[in-house]
């Protein structure tokens, strides 16, 4: 029986993880659940899975959550960053599923590692912001880090039995999002509703917009650099609209190992939670005869320049990836709030990066300060555009 703390229980990854746990009650038990503001859903999850602790964003939402729960239910309600850290470090927890959205997942994940917990990581921003710190702590504490992003899980699985020996390139696949074939001149009319219509995957709104801009793939490039200790020059992005090949590893003898499956996150989540075993999921294998063709193409960086921004930030390193991530979070939120056009996401992130005097160090305090500065700068740039 593996005991779990799920950070981000009400999001897409967290909800899928709980669906898996529901199917295998003899394999998993839930110790802690966290959410930001979706207290009604979190309350239903608490009633079903009876964790001993739950965390939300602030005291007001903690009071709302308590009011939704049966009085006899014995669950401790905490809140804020300290509450998330408490959920990530519960003594009874064996593994922490990090599925919080954005930079909020960094501090709780680091706390979980320091507490000796194994990590199933879906929160890519943790490695984007502080990859060197995270991987050093993983090595020092000797805990397991399992990738839950479908692409990184695919790479991990494709390296099984081979390790790092003889790797030529990592090939991250991208669906291309909803605008793969839309002419560049039509990008000015893209609305949030348009961008949220992902052709293959069901995801939260932030990651869906990142997929539409290809920023998500850029963040995954930075994540792959740290997870697999490989230079950026050997991490390539390939657009694969069918989303059947989740990613590939090319070896020096010309062999390419690929992991394939239908576009469903449950496979990657279950593998992260159950490794080295595999769970008998109710997920079909691809029907290759029905699919017919699998196609691949080079991403168009002229139409999707956010990908180049991510490579630039990752290669320069230091505090720049933290700035990239923070500015993108602010810009995406403004786009979803109809305060910024679709092309404005790239413009705000680019302008914020250009204004930043990158620190080459990787001290956690410097990274958190860079994150704060980038958010303020991006917001100021958005306000200026609105005037």
Query: What is each CA distance from 201 to 6, 175, 241, 294, in whole angstroms?
Result: 21, 9, 11, 17
User: Would you say residue 11 has pLDDT above 80?
Assistant: yes
Q: Give the C-alpha separation, 314 to 320, whole Å.
A: 7
Parallel/antiparallel/unpaired status of strands 76-79 and 167-174 = unpaired
Tell me, yes or no, if the pTM score tops 0.85. yes
User: Would you say residue 200 has pLDDT above 80?
Assistant: no
Q: Give the C-alpha separation, 169 to 258, whole Å.
A: 12
Query: What is each CA distance from 72 to 50, 69, 207, in whole angstroms?
Result: 12, 8, 37
Which spans in 93-204 are helix H?
106-114, 124-141, 150-158, 192-195
User: Would you say residue 238 has pLDDT above 90?
Assistant: yes
What average pLDDT does the structure give for the chain?
94
User: What is residue 329's three-state secondary structure?
Assistant: helix
Of the listed ranges 3-12, 35-44, 198-207, 235-244, the least confidently predicted one is 198-207
Residue written as token pair 């196609």: 295
pLDDT digits over 56-107, tens only? 999 999 999 999 999 989 999 999 999 999 999 999 999 999 999 888 899 9
Share of the chain above pLDDT 90, in %: 87
Reference 108, options 147, 82, 131; nearest CA is 82
Across the beta sheet with 118-121, what order do the strands follow? Answer: 76-79, 53-56, 28-34, 2-7, 95-98, 118-121, 145-147
Mean pLDDT, residues 189-206: 82
Q: Give the C-alpha separation, 67 to 131, whole Å.
A: 39
Task: Give the DSSP per-residue string, 205-270.
Answer: HHHHHHHHHTHHHHHHHHHHHHHTT--GGGEEEEE-TT--EEEEEEETTS-EEEEE--S-THHHHH
Contacts (Cβ under 8 Å, ≥6 apart) of 321: 128, 129, 131, 222, 313, 314
User: Would you say residue 356 has pLDDT above 80?
Assistant: yes
Query: What is each CA distance from 283 to 243, 253, 266, 336, in whole angstroms?
Result: 15, 33, 8, 32
The answer to whether the CB of 204 falls within 8 A of the CB of 101 is yes
Give the per-residue pLDDT at 165. Answer: 82
Query: What is each CA distance from 98 to 14, 222, 272, in whole angstroms?
Result: 9, 17, 11
Mean pLDDT, residues 116-127: 95
Mean pLDDT, residues 169-192: 92
Q: Give the C-alpha separation, 271 to 158, whole Å.
A: 13
Q: Give the C-alpha separation, 338 to 348, whole Å.
A: 14
Give the per-residue pLDDT at 216. Answer: 94
Kind plus residue range of the DSSP H or E element containing 32 = strand 28-34
Share of the chain above pLDDT 70, in %: 98
Mean pLDDT, residues 123-134: 94
User: What is residue 95's three-state secondary structure?
Assistant: strand
Mean pLDDT, residues 283-299: 95
Give the per-residue pLDDT at 297. Answer: 96
Q: How confident is the model at residue 153 (pLDDT cuts 50, 70, 90)?
A: very high
Reference 334, options 302, 381, 373; nearest CA is 381
Distance of CA 196 to the CA centre of its chain: 17
Q: Which domains does the chain have, with CATH numbers?
A: 2-143 (3.40.50.720), 150-263+292-301 (no CATH), 317-387 (1.10.1740.10)
Reference 46, options 18, 25, 20, 24; nearest CA is 18
Mean pLDDT, residues 257-266: 94
Which pair of structure tokens corresponds to residue 2?
């593996």
The answer to whether the CB of 69 falls within 8 A of the CB of 75 is yes
User: Would you say residue 164 has pLDDT above 90?
Assistant: no
């Amino acid at each position: 029986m593996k005991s779990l703390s799920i950070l981000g229980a009400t999001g897409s990854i967290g909800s899928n993880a709980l669906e898996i746990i529901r199917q295998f009650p003899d394999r998993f038990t839930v110790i802690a659940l966290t959410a930001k503001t979706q207290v009604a859903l979190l309350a239903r999850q608490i009633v079903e899975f009876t964790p001993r602790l739950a965390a939300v964003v602030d005291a007001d939402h903690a009071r709302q959550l308590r009011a939704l729960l049966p009085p006899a239910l014995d669950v401790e309600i905490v809140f804020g960053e300290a509450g998330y850290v408490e959920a990530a470090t519960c003594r009874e927890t064996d593994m922490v599923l990090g599925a919080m959205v954005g930079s909020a997942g960094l501090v709780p994940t680091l706390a979980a590692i320091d507490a000796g917990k194994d990590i199933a990581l879906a929160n890519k921003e943790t490695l984007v912001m502080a990859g060197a710190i995270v991987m050093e702590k993983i090595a020092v504490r000797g805990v397991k880090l399992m990738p839950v992003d479908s692409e990184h899980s695919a790479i991990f699985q494709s390296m099984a039995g081979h390790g790092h020996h003889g790797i030529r390139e990592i090939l991250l696949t991208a669906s291309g999002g909803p605008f793969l074939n839309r002419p560049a001149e039509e990008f000015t009319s893209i609305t949030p509703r348009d961008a949220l219509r992902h052709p293959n995957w069901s995801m939260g709104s932030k990651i869906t917009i990142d997929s539409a801009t290809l920023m998500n793939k850029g963040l995954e490039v930075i994540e792959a650099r740290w997870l697999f200790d490989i230079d950026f020059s050997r991490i390539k992005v390939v657009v694969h609209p069918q989303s059947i090949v989740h990613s590939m590893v090319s070896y020096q003898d010309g062999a390419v190992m690929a992991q394939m499956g239908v576009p469903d996150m449950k496979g990657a989540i279950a593998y992260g939670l159950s490794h080295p075993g595999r769970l008998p999921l109710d997920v079909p294998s691809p029907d290759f005869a029905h699919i017919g063709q699998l196609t691949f193409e080079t991403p168009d960086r002229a139409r999707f320049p956010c990908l180049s921004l991510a490579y630039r930030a990752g290669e320069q390193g230091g505090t720049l990836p933290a700035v990239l991530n923070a500015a993108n979070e602010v810009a995406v939120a403004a786009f979803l709030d109809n305060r910024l056009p679709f092309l404005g996401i790239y413009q705000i992130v680019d302008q914020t990066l250009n204004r930043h005097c990158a620190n080459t160090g990787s001290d956690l305090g410097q990274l958190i300060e860079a994150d704060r500065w980038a958010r303020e700068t991006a917001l100021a740039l958005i306000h200026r555009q609105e005037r």
